[in-house]
A and B are shown apart, each in its own frame.
Chain A
Amino acid sequence: MAGKGGAAPSTYSPSPTTQKTKSRIFGNDDVDWVRSDGREFHQCRPAFFKTGAVNAAAGSAYAEFGNTKVIVSVFGPRESKKAMMYSDIGRLNCNVSYTTFATPVRGQGSDHKEFSSMLHKALEGAIILETFPKTTVDVFALVLESGGSDLPVVISCASLALADAGIMMYDLVTSVSVSGLGKNLVIDPILEEESYQDGSLMLTCMPSRYEVTQLTITGEWSTPKINEGMQICLDACSKLAVVMRACLKGPDSTLEE
C-alpha cells in the first residue's frame, strides 16, 4: 500500500492535538464567554438536510450541521441475511461508521462502537415494525466529518432517510444534545465544546407525539439542570422537525400534489 515495502512506518499528526490548558473560558463560571462559532448558548447550528443522497439505496438522507456531515442510507425491507427464527414483526439493523478523515486525528472515529446500538434503540420505538414482517430494514450511517453532536445528527438524519424510503413510522425522530459547561448549558455543542464539557444530555423524541424515545445523561448534573436541559432539547427537537418536514415535502413536491 505504501510507496515502499515493509511494515508501515509509524506516523504522527503534526497538528497540536492535546491542548492541555483546559478552557481559558470554560472553567470560569462567572465569565460571560462567547461560543467560538459566535452562537448564543441556546442557539443550534443551522441545519441542512437533503433526501435522496444515495441512488443505490431505497432511501437516503444527507445532513450537515456546521462541520458535522453525515450520510444515512436505508436498504429494505429485504430478506434477513442472518439465519434467524420466524418473526411476525420486522427487524431493524443499524450501523454507524466514520471515515478515516472524519476526526481531527486520523482514524479515531472507530472509538464510537456504541453508536450503532444507540441509533438502533433511538429509532426502534418510532418504526411500525409490524408493517414488514419476516424482513429486515438496514439503516447504515457514515459520518463524513465529525464536528460535534455526531450521534444526534445521525439519529435525525436516519429518521429522515427512513421516511424517504417509505418505512412506516409513528413520527419523525429528532435528536438534540446539550453540554454542561460550568454553570451554562450549551445546545448542539461543537467538537471543542464537547471535549471540555462537564456533562452531556442527549434527548431523542418524536416531536408531534411529544414522546421521548431515548434520553442519555452523563457527567455532573443537578435535578433542576436536567429539567432545564430536557426542556431546551424538546424545544429544539420540535424546531428541527419543522426543518426536516420541509425537506421531505421539498420544493418540487408541491408541483406534484
Chain B
Amino acid sequence: MALPDASGDVLSEMDVDAFRRLFPLRFFETHLVKSTRPDGRSLAEARETSSALGAVASADGSALVKIGSTRMLAAIKMEVMTPSKESPDEGCIAIDFHMPPICSPTVRPGRPAEAAPVVSKQLSDTILRQVKCLSCCSFCGMINLKELSLISGKAAWMAYLDIYCLDADGALFDAALLSAVAAFSHLQIPVVSMNDDGKVVVLSGDHGGKEPVNKGKRKLTLSSIPLSLTCLLHKNYILADPTAEEESVMETLVTVVLDSSGQLVSLYKPGGPVLAYTSAIQDCVALTRQRARELQTILDEVTSGMEVD
C-alpha cells in the first residue's frame, strides 16, 4: 500500500473531530463556502432562544435566558439608599456581570474572566443610557431613574442587578442584555413605609396601620427596550449569534444594539483582525433589526404569561 504523500490524503482519512480540532479555521471555512455552519444553521440564523421569569425566589425580579446553550441568570434586589444631593429624586441602578468558574473551562476561581468587566460595562452603558442624553428630551432611556425615588431627598431605591453566566457558549452580551431586560420586566417593587426611626421597611400583608409610601408604583415603566445581536465577521462572511467555538476561531465581533423603535443605541466593534466595510456594518444592523423583532416576540410571550398567573 502506498504511503499517503499529499496532505489531502491525510485529511481525507482523518476523523472529522480530529480535523475540527487540528484545523479549526479550515473546518469552518469548508462549511462557510456552502453557506452553512457546523451546527446546521445558516449564516444569518440565530440559535433557539427562550426565557423564563421568576427563577430566583429570593430576588425582587429575576429571569433565566437561554440562547443555544449560553445561559444567563439575572436577578434584581431592591435596597434603600439616601439619594445624592445633585439628584434628590432619583434612584440608582448598579449592574454587575459575573462569570463564575462553573460557566466555562477557561475561568478559574480567584482569577476573574477578562470578558466579564467588558460585558459589565457594555450593559451599564446600554441600560443606564439616559444619563448621556438629558439634552434631547426630559427622558429617553430604558428606565426612568425618577421612578425609583421614594421620598425626595430622603430615600430612593438602589436596584442591584446581578447577571450570572451559567453556561458560556458565545454571544454573552446578547444573552446578558436579554436577561437584564426580562428581569426588569419581572421586577415587583416591594411595598414599603417609613418607620419611626426614619428607616424604610417592607410592609407585611396587613400594612400594620402604616401608609405605604410607594402605593401603585410597583412596576417600572420600560420605555424603549434595547435588544442586541452579535455578529462575527470573517472574510466576506457575516455569522449571526456565534458560538464560543466560532468566537475563538474567528475573532472579529460586531455587536449592535437597537431600541424598540429601531434606533441605533450602540455599536461595538472591539478591534479584531478583520476590518469592516460600511456595507458589512449595515448588514449587521439589518440582521439585528430582524433579530430584535424575534426577541421582542419572545419577551412579549413570557411577560404576558406572567400576567395571566
Q: Which residues of A contact B (CB under 8 A)?
A: 1-4, 6, 8-16, 53-58, 60, 67, 69, 71-73, 75, 78, 81, 95, 97, 99-104, 106, 138, 140-142, 144-146
Contact = CB atoms under 8 A, between A and B. Distances in A.
A56 B168 contact: yes
- Say which size band chain B's interface belongs to: 35 or more
B77 A16 contact: no
Q: What secondary structure prevails in chain A residues at the interface with B?
A: loop
B103 A54 contact: yes
10 contacts: A2-B158, A8-B94, A53-B167, A56-B104, A95-B101, A95-B109, A99-B73, A99-B100, A99-B164, A142-B102
A141 B145 CA distance: 35
B192 interface: yes
Contact of A16 (B62, B102, B120, B202): B202
Contacts of A10: 81
A103 B57 CA distance: 10
Contacts of A13: 77, 79-80
B102 A72 contact: yes
B57 A16 contact: no
Interface of B: 55-59, 62, 69, 71, 73, 75, 77-84, 86-87, 90-96, 98, 100-105, 108-109, 120, 124, 128, 131, 145, 158, 160, 162, 164, 166-169, 190, 192, 199-202, 244
B82 A4 contact: no
Contacts of B190: 14-15
Contact of B169 (A14, A55, A71, A72): A55
Contacts, number: 140
Given A1-B96, A10-B81, A103 B58 contact: yes
Given A1-B94, A4-B86, A57-B102, A145 B57 contact: yes
B131 A3 contact: yes
Query: Which 5 pairs of residues, A with B, have the shortest CB-CB distance?
Result: A11-B79, A73-B102, A55-B69, A95-B109, A101-B75
A33 B101 CA distance: 42
A10 B84 CA distance: 11
B104 A9 contact: no
